[in-house]
């Protein structure tokens, strides 16, 4: 199962930012926010809105949907979902390795 799934939105943004080798300061500048506010989001102390997530995806060069996928709970409630979730997790791993 993917090591990346089931983060909060802030953790997902931080992980993706680090993969792109961007500092908080650099990403905050691109987003037009303060570094302190980005820090609050990454620590889960503030919840970003959809526009923020869209802009973050654009700044990182990734689809905004990937940010949401990283927040999915990998433990399916029904056995019939286990295989598709494993396939999604594997696809996310592949995408993240390519970033």
CATH number of the domain bearing residue 76: 1.10.260.40
* Domain contains 48: yes
Range of the domain at 73: 9-98
Distances (CA, A) of 21 to 27, 40, 49, 50: 10, 19, 24, 24
What is this structure's pTM? 0.73
Position 52 in a domain: yes
Predicted confidence (pLDDT) per residue in 5-35, tens digit: 557 899 989 989 998 999 999 999 999 999 9
Quickly state the pLDDT bin for 2 (edges 50, 70, 90).
Answer: very low
* CB-based contact 66:57 (threshold 8 Å): yes
Which of the given ranges, 1-5, 12-16, 84-88, has the highest pLDDT on average? 12-16
Higher-pLDDT residue of 90 and 26 is 26
**For the chain, what is the domain count?**
1
Q: Is residue 61 part of a domain?
A: yes
Q: Give the Cα separation of 9 and 47 in Å (integer).
A: 8
pLDDT at residue 54 above 50? yes
């Amino acid at each position: 199962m993917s090591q990346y799934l089931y983060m909060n939105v802030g953790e997902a943004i931080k992980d993706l930012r680090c993969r792109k080798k961007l500092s908080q300061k650099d990403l905050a500048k691109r987003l037009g926010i303060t570094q302190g506010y980005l820090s609050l989001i990454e620590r889960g102390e503030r919840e970003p809105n959809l526009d923020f997530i869209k802009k973050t995806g654009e700044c990182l060069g990734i689809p905004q949907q990937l940010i949401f996928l990283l927040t999915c709970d990998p433990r399916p409630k029904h056995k019939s979902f286990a295989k598709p979730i494993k396939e999604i997790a594997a696809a996310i791993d592949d995408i993240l390795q390519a970033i």
